[in-house]
Amino acid sequence: MAHIHYPARRSEQGVALVVSLILMAVMTILVLSTMRTSILQLRISGSTETLSINLANAEVAIADFVDANQGRFAPGFATLAAAAGGAIFPTTVLNDSTVNLVVTQLGCAPANTFGTQMGAGSLQAVQFDIAATATVNRGGRSTVHQGAEAIAPPGSC
């Protein structure tokens, strides 16, 4: 039987340990970078969600206001009490948020289309700005403006 001769063991230099430590450091840096990017993406998506909720709530509040006040839009109606023919402000709270509505009369004058068709005693037109500011309880606020115009009887402006 032949005897197998193995070379004498040299003392190990620790190269494998150094290489593995360098690889672990590089992997740790990559993981930390990925985590920071993920956290930033979560913040961006949360802000986008809040903006979407606010815009939707403001638009719904304006639509509810216009629906509740069909036939009531007239010169000066924004400053009157609801019982006296003024604006009705429905309560609109959606998706854990609050909405504040402000109605401002912008102008009142002869309606251009009707004025040219019917002469001096023509119908009037009154314009309003309906502003809805929606605020989600966890932060963030959006304001939406909607214009409205209503036809008024002659001489009401």
User: In percent, how much of the chain has pLDDT > 70?
Assistant: 85
In the structure encoding, which two tokens stand for residue 17, read together?
């340990």
In the structure encoding, which two tokens stand for residue 104, read together?
């401002």
Residue 100 near residue 133, CB atoms below 8 Å: yes
In a domain, 2, yes or no: no
Residues 13 and 129: their CA atoms lie apart, in Å, by: 80
| Strand, coil or helix: 89 | coil
Q: How many CB atoms lie within 10 A of CB 64?
A: 19
CA distances from 120 to 105, 113, 123, 124 (A): 23, 12, 9, 11
In a domain, 5, yes or no: no
Domain count for the chain: 1
The sheet that has 97-110: what strands, in order across it?
A: 97-110, 124-136, 141-152
In a domain, 51, yes or no: yes
Q: Per-residue pLDDT tens for 89-133?
A: 887 667 778 888 899 888 888 776 554 555 556 778 889 999 999
Evaluate if residue 149 carries a pLDDT over 70: yes
In a domain, 131, yes or no: yes
In a domain, 7, yes or no: no
pTM of the model: 0.67
In a domain, 1, yes or no: no
Residue 145 near residue 97, CB atoms below 8 Å: no
Identify which of 147, 136, 155 has the alpha carbon closest to the alpha carbon of residue 55: 136
Q: Which domain holds residue 51?
A: 15-152
